[in-house]
Amino acid sequence: MPLFVIVRHGQSQWNSENRFTGSTNTPLTDLGRHEAREAGVLLKSNQPPNFGIGFTSVLQRAIETMAIILAEIGQADLPVDRSEALNERMYGDLQGMNKHEAETRFGADQVFRWRRGYTDQPPNGESLADTYARVIPYFRKAILPHLQAGQSVLVVAHGNSLRALLMELEHISPEDIEKVELATGIPRQYDFDPATDNFRLLPV
């Protein structure tokens, strides 16, 4: 069966500073590059992949993570499509703000709702529902056909764009997705059955 792998990018500079990054372009830290290499090592050791295509957002931290992983698994020449549809959610007025500062200013409960709630929009920003509305149509139109054709696919993106994708892959409800968080640089792997369009989560 085709293999479908999603990876949240390695730690970025603003991740390390506990800032809301969103659609801002920030580079990987040394730790983030190490996490990307370790993701590649893990992919090689568990089930050596042979990807047919890759997908990333247009943001630097995802692009760099993808390049490091592909170099590690010996597929540096893999064709990779980039799309804004896979970008991290836009955090609006919170972007660049330290999360503790935001809690002091707006209250911890409100900041938690902005970060985890499905329909809660930060000021001038996107909710997870908004993110879902751009990620899933792109997934169905651009990514899924490669899996249906029997190609294995690697996607490197962001915490919230991938949480939106998880709702589709694992049939997670808006209520339950609030409890889900993806760590940086940890591959999440699925078998895909082209006969049924079903995804089966594989052990790490």
- Give the separation between CA 155 and CA 56, rounded to whole angstroms: 6
Which amino acid is located at 32 in the chain?
Answer: G
Exposed, middle or buried: residue 60 (CB in 10 Å: 0-12, 13-18, 19+)?
Answer: middle
Active-site residue 88, yes or no? yes
Residue 37, token pair as written in the block = 């290499």
- Report how far residue 102's alpha carbon sits from residue 9's, in angstroms, rounded to the nearest whole number: 24
Say how far apart CA 28 and CA 16 lie, in whole Å.
Answer: 9
Q: What are phi and psi of 88, to 5 degrees?
A: -60, 155
State yes or no: is 171 an active-site residue: no
Instruction: State the residue for tokens 């540096």.
Output: 76
Q: Find, among 137, 158, 156, the residue nearest to 88 by Cα.
A: 158
* Separation of alpha carbons 29 and 35, rounded Å: 10
9, 126, 146, 158: the active-site residue: 9
The H or E element spanning position 157 is strand 152-157
Instruction: Determine which one of 35, 72, 88, 178 is catalytic.
Output: 88
Catalytic residues: 9, 88
